[in-house]
Structure 1
Amino acid sequence: MNFGNEVQAMVYQQAEESIVPPSYEELEQKAREHLDSKPYDYVASSAGAEITKRQNNQAFEKWQIVPRMLRDTSERDLSIELFGRKLPFPLLCAPIGVQSIVHPEGELSSAKGAAAMNIPFISSTASTYSLEETAEVMGNKDKWFQLYWSRDREIAASMVKRAEEAGYNAIVITLDTPMMGWREKDIDHAYLPFLQAKGIGNYLSDPVFLSRLDEPPEKDMMSAIMLWSQIFGNPALTWDDLDFIKAQTTLPIILKGILHTDDAKLAVEHGVDGIIVSNHGGRQVDGAIPAIDALAEVVEVVGDRVPVLMDSGIRRGSDMLKALALGAKAVLIGRPYMYGLALAGEAGVKQVLRNLIADFDLSMALSGKKSTQELNRDLLRKK
């Protein structure tokens, strides 16, 4: 399947309408024009002066592709195998909470767009819609559940069990958000959508959470919101706590937010099944190392013991190509599909994903590679 050529043919023959811009910069600008400032800034902004957010993107420029010629790339294979399942593309939708602030159907539309492209959707703990509702719209397509590990460990255990029962294929534990980072634009707006009962759908549908309330949320929503605010995040967690979550599920456990090589080693030592190199899109620690800079170091210390994935800064197919050449098994994207969601719902998400895969396919072929298995460090030079 030569995905990029097929997409080009559809576009040039006007067989399918382009409903979102193919340029990331224009996509972001269109979303900014479309959305009110509070939800736009919540999605687009990052911690502090947003240095890490900018450097996430700029750091890719240090790696340059050295294409090879006269290599038969007439037929390409973009597929990978991950945790025993074959995926058609090395791409996943990163977990993003409160998607209803940019589109009324929020996570449901994003999940359907991802499912239509056969791309795994990682459903966030901080979703407006419950994990069961998201699973239902995806049917048997690949889906992972991301856990924000709350102070109430029984609520965390409940959510993990619910995810396995609902047919999710893996559990992603986000490590870098034991509390929210200092996000200046959100502070300026005094805007936290959770306090408007958005992004707490998994809590409002959780039996353990509900058992902690004196009245059901439909009778006293403010008390439910206040309980959420008291238990979200858990800065007291240590590596030893992983055993508790591992005991709740048979699903693969992937740790998201690893940047330091020592943490990568500890993750493997504690028996996790995968690592996602990520700085949360710059939203937590301003001045943190760009994710692409951490990737090669983490891959080196982990070796082939567990798969390493990467997010934070993926904007184009060439970014995907560089990340995979540096050892990532797959990459995750966040803001791009959120902007597609804001502009055109499910169809917008689908087209953003389609465009990114097409760009990756063509970039890979033009670099002289015909499969993801052929991508390695030899493809790159560091500026």
Structure 2
Amino acid sequence: MTLDDLHEAARGTLDPVHYDYVAGGAGEERVLADNERAFARYALLPRVLRGSETRRTAVDLPGAPGAAPVVVAPTAFHRLAHPDGERATARAAAAEGAVLVTGAAATTAVAEVVAAARETAADPAVWFQLYPHPRREVTAALVRRAADAGCTALVVTVDSPVFGRRTRDLRNGFTDLPPGHAAENMRDLPGAPPGGLTDIPMSPALSWRDLDDILRMTTLPVLVKGVLHPADARLAVEHGAAGVLVSNHGGRQCDAVPAALDCLPGVADAVAGRVPVLMDGGVRRGADIAVALALGATAVGVGRPVVWGLAAEGESGVRRTLALLRDEYDHTLALCGGRRNADLTRDMVVRRGEPW
């Protein structure tokens, strides 16, 4: 099966309202579409007669040495896609050597996610995605919970001062999870009754001081997710971030921003190799991974295709998704004359239809 096949199988399996929740974006979904179209604007310019029978594609990421260059990006509510939910995703990611980013909106608690990953790998890399809470004690409790569970890094999402206006969800009236489903990492936090849930926060007052506070709370590496402007990338590094994730939240927050790929080169230049740069948004094939790495990414995040694989075939569908992307990327690297990721350089990417 191809990723498109898995997508179509998932569409036929999912409740239409839940499909729209995963597939949809903010506003008129211009950015959602442009994230994918952006890759079609670039072409690879291969080198020849310098390849190798085998290639090394592993990358060293914070808390994840030797990982695959494909990270499972944080996506919410996996149990809407399959009864095993995040447990199946965790087992699949660990088996394929990919970092899994789980987070506040997971329908499985982080400790159970890490335990599931350990069923298929002795030392899996699970990162925890964090929305900073306006109440410091709640943020601190989430940070401790992730560390106690065995997460190897934190990913602080910074592009959500308010909730995106997602037209499909508004039309469908999708505001609550069905009975038996909840954002389990938001349970039993300070200020809530025993067993009670705390809302996932959106805070317009979020500032660099909040990032500094999180960095003081933990010894885990902290990555900053949702960066598009080069100046913010420089600030993130100066404040102590261990990595920067170029992302427009999969087109789910602001419908007026550029495609993530178009922002990648500027952010990579601003970071200048001081920390890893990741990007997500629109990655659908191995050649997309090659383009992103050539433009300065250390690795890419993949969100929706993982959910389609999960909905279509459960754990095996997630494994199939990650394996397809890995194999396609390795094939593309070989066709470009590369032995390793670093062999993909900026001069090997051109704009389609433009002189070079």
In the alignment, which residue of structure 2 is the partner of 1:177?
160
The amino acid of 1:106's aligned partner reads G
Give how far 1:237 is off: 1.0
Matched, 1:40 2:9: no
Distance 1:283 1:122 in 2: 18
Write the deviation string for residues 295-323 of structure 1: whole angstroms up to 9, x where unpaired.
00001111011111100111000000000
Write the deviation string for residues 10-39 of structure 1: whole angstroms up to 9, x where unpaired.
xxxxxxxxxxx31x3332222111111111
Distance 1:346 1:84 in 2: 24
Give how far 1:194 is off: 4.3
The amino acid of 2:17's aligned partner reads K
SS in 2 for 1:181: coil
Structure 1 contact 97–199 (Cα < 8 Å) conserved? no
Distance 1:375 1:334 in 2: 23
The amino acid of 1:212's aligned partner reads A
Write the deviation string for residues 324-374 of structure 1: whole angstroms up to 9, x where unpaired.
000101111000010000011111101110011000000110111111121
Mean Cα deviation higher: 48-57 or 189-198: 189-198
Check 1:233–1:54 CA distance in 2 against 1; reply closer, same or farther (3 A cut): same
User: Which of residues 52, 59, 66 in structure 1 aligns to 2:38?
Assistant: 59
Check 1:49–1:326 CA distance in 2 against 1; reply closer, same or farther (3 A cut): same
Give how far 1:54 is off: 0.6
Mean Cα deviation higher: 354-363 or 372-381: 372-381
Matched, 1:212 2:173: no
In the alignment, which residue of structure 1 is the partner of 2:139?
156
* Corresponding pairs, count: 348
Structure 1 contact 99–199 (Cα < 8 Å) conserved? no
RMSD: 1.6
TM-score by length of 2: 0.94
The amino acid of 1:342's aligned partner reads A
Residues 310-325 of structure 1 correspond to what in structure 2 (within 5 A)? 310-325=279-294
The amino acid of 2:318's aligned partner reads V
Task: Indicate the structure with greater helix content.
Answer: 1
Residues 1-383 of structure 1 correspond to what in structure 2 (within 5 A)? 21-22=1-2, 24-83=3-62, 85-139=64-118, 140-194=123-177, 196=179, 198-204=181-187, 206=188, 208-209=189-190, 211-213=191-193, 216-217=194-195, 224=196, 228-229=198-199, 232-383=201-352
Distance 2:216 2:67 in 1: 31
Give how far 1:131 is off: 0.5
Structure 2 contact 71–300 (Cα < 8 Å) conserved? yes
Structure 1 contact 114–120 (Cα < 8 Å) conserved? yes
Structure 1 contact 111–137 (Cα < 8 Å) conserved? yes
The amino acid of 2:270's aligned partner reads V
SS in 1 for 2:156: strand
The amino acid of 2:58's aligned partner reads S
Give how far 1:258 is off: 0.2
Query: Percent identity at matched positions?
Result: 40
SS in 2 for 1:177: coil
Structure 2 contact 130–156 (Cα < 8 Å) conserved? yes
The amino acid of 1:151's aligned partner reads P
Write the deviation string for residues 104-143 of structure 1: whole angstroms up to 9, x where unpaired.
1111110111011111111111111111111111122111
SS in 2 for 1:247: helix
Runs of 4+ off more than 6 Å: none
The amino acid of 1:147's aligned partner reads L
